[in-house]
Structure 1
Amino acid sequence: MLVLAVGLPVALLHALLLCCMFLRAPASPDEIPFTVPPRFEHRRSGGLHGEGQVRSEESEVDGQRDISAHRGSFSVRSWYPVGSLLEGLYCAPILDEVVAPPPGMAARLCFAVEYRRSCEQLMVSLLRLGNLPPRFHGNVTLVELWLLPDDRRPRQAKARGTGHDPEFTDYFVFQVSAVCVSESTLSVCVLSVERKGKHHVVGRVLFPLEGQLGQSGRVLWRDLERDTYTQCSELGDVQVSLNYNPSLQRLTLVVLRARGLQLLSDTGLFSQVSLQIHTQVVKTKRSSMVKCEAEPYFNHRMTFKLKPRQLDEACVRLELKQPHPRCPESAAVLGVVVLGPFMYARGPQLQHWMDMVNTPCTQELLEQWHGLGRGI
């Protein structure tokens, strides 16, 4: 090589030397990064007969698999098992077989509650209503859900159909911590809506979550409670109607009647209502004196001027008073009820106020009984 290279140009000589270096030190296979992708080993059942033919067929098929495997996931054929669909998971069972209503004629709500501690979420599934009263069969059925005492706006669901047992396919997620979930109460209000838009309260379900999350996900049936529930306060109850007209910016409160009062004398009694915005009392009105009876009947209407933006800042304080037997000029407070948003009220008082705010019909009065508390 060196003898032949005499007399050649210097550039050509350098090129020949480089070629000799590459020919003497070829690249080893270990220096080239190369991996074989895993593939499914196909096994055939059978004896030793025809073993050579089977191996030849498998080697030929393996070559086709390798080519297909490098074409992307869309070209993977049946020899790569990825599983199969279970048809039973996608067949919805008949609702009557899963949540058959218990015997009885009371209107009932079927639902399920589950709490996931890992993400601190309360899952509520609405399934169906049972034994809806006949006068509501032709109306649209709505359900409003609250998680008291924190919720300020309800979650709504609409039934899929009408009739005796309307069904739902809705579920709701409430974000609530594990510390507060046991102190919360799930409130469900069932409404029947006529074609003209008028709402009727069919009933309510108050479901305290304390001690009820041990068997999460089970199907629950609860009877709908009417507003005429039994006395819930040792001081007595008062029936109140609420209405708010946003176009007129007018809040209407009607004190209807009372029951179970702890009367001090037979000198009569009256009701006093105060409208309060934040800590300031804006207006105070009182009813006329009524007789002391087992269920005194007031039927006194009071109206207050209130702007829509003030609905989350205002409340009404209702007091039932009776002239003091020793000092007729002063009055003794028999009981107090505060109706308002989350800033002022909890439980049924908060729910009554929010029902009033969210009722689209401006002419409807929402009636409800409230237990009297002690004045502060």
Structure 2
Amino acid sequence: MKMEAQRDILAHRGSLSVRTWYPVGTVLAGLYSTPPLNEVVAPPPGMATRLCFSVEYRHSSEQLMVSLLRLANLPPRFHGNVTLVELRLLPDDRRPRQSKARGTGPDPEFSDCFVFQVSGVCVPQSTLSVCVLSVEQDCKRHAVGRVLFPLEGELGQAGRVLWKDLETEDNTQRSELGDVQISLSYSPAQQRLSVGVLRARGLQLLAGTGVCVQVSLQIHTQVVKTKRSCVVKGENNPYFDHKMTFKLRSQHVDEACLKFELQQTNNVHSEPPVLLGVLVLGPFMYARGPQLQHWMDMVNAPQEPVKLWHGFSRAT
């Protein structure tokens, strides 16, 4: 019974509506003898950086409750920094909710609860985005990693504790067609979208051939503008470091997307380049997962370059 009380306490720890869980006039002794969080919620074996949280959807009030509990196995270089977590509910939530860790070290605790108002129709189509940041004393921020948690099919067991590995640049699964590092920045004042094609890795190229990335700005089905990066020859891990800008009105930010095409140039100039892979970055109507998150991060941080690796996929 004691263990069941502890699990019940943990499942709703940080709840903003305590009276709904504990009726008036009752006393739970476990509330006054709750063991340390690191004893109740032990991380799974392994050295991966992991996030511990729980989610619950209340149909009566149409509220998604997210309890942020703790992190485990932060890399040593972040142990002395302040740890922040930013939560968003994609695709519509542009203003992040922020939580600050209570303490430093390899396993910081949060024990915070967040409420998202979302209809029962939309919640299965939503994705919880959790971005972990490490902040130095001079306020310089470093991205530790992120968790993208699709809610479809995950709300059956209310309040169960989840451990999810953080996705980082180092452990991101690579595409068999190769990956590209993209920088995005948007200036609402100047109505300008800045795109940087920085570098690529793991490309499968023929000897002596060149490769470039063609970028197209598209609104709905109409291609507004197309630009190309420089051509780099004879490298499977080329550095492009090519910057380009597009005119994009603020009212079209939620209707536009960027299409990247990896093209292998042909030695015969009369023949068109060979299409090796494609990538689309944009809002919810065009993209999912990291591709959607990259676009949302750009929108939520005006004039601030946001860099991320993406894998190419085959053209359909």
Higher relative contact order (CA 8 A, sep 6+): 2
One-letter code aligned to 1:224: L
Q: 1:321 maps to which residue?
A: 263
Q: Give the structure 2 partner of residue 29 of structure 1.
A: none
What's the counterpart of residue 294 of structure 2?
Answer: 352
> C-alpha deviations, 1:113-132, integer Å up to 9, x for none?
33456777643211122233
1:168 paired residue number: 111
* TM-score, with structure 2 as normaliser: 0.76
Per-residue CA deviations over 1:125-151 (Å, capped at 9, x if unaligned) read 11122233344433351322334xx44
Identity of aligned residues (%): 58
Gaps of 5+ in 2: 1-22
Task: Give the secondary-structure state (helix, strand or coil) at the position aligned to 2:232.
Answer: coil
Question: Is the counterpart of residue 372 in structure 1 residue 316 in structure 2?
Answer: no
8 Å CA contact retained: 1:158, 1:168 = no
Give, as a single letter, the amino acid of the residue that structure 1 aligns with 2:305. L
**CA distance 1:84–1:229, shift in 2 (3 Å):** closer
1:139 maps to 82
Structure 1 residues 211 and 152, CA gap change in structure 2 (3 angstroms) = closer
Cα distance in 2 between the residues matched to 1:211 and 1:97: 29
Which structure dedicates a bigger proportion of its chain to strand?
2
Of 196, 203, 213, 1:261 maps to 203
| Matched residue, 1:61 | none
Q: Is the 8 A contact 1:146 1:154 kept in 2?
A: no
Residue 159 (str. 1) matches residue 109 (str. 2): no
User: In the alignment, which residue of structure 2 is the partner of 1:60?
Assistant: none
State the Cα distance separating 1:262 from its structure 2 match.
4.2
1:86 paired residue number: 27
Alignment of 1:168-247 (within 5 A): 168-173=111-116, 175=118, 177=120, 181=124, 185-194=127-136, 198-209=140-151, 212-213=154-155, 215-247=157-189
CA contact (8 A) 2:204 2:236 kept: no
Give secondary structure in 1 for the equivalent of 2:299: helix
Contact 2:254 2:283 in 1 (8 A): yes
Deviates more, 1:157-166 or 1:193-202: 193-202
Q: Contact 2:180/2:201 (CA < 8 Å) preserved in 1?
A: yes
Residues 1:357 and 1:193: Cα distance change in structure 2 (over 3 Å): farther
The answer on 1:250 being equivalent to 2:192 is yes
Relative to 1, partners in 2 of residues 1:252 and 1:168: Cα closer, same or farther, differing over 3 Å?
farther
Structure 1 runs not aligned, ≥5 long? 1-81
Distance 1:305 1:106 in 2: 41
Contact 2:181 2:198 in 1 (8 A): yes
- Aligned residue identity for 2:85: L
For structure 1, which segment, 123-132 or 257-266, has the greater mean C-alpha deviation from structure 2 after superposition? 257-266
Aligned length: 290
Structure with the bigger percentage of helix: 1
Q: Secondary structure at the match of 1:269?
A: strand
**Structure (1 or 2) with the larger CA radius of gyration:** 1
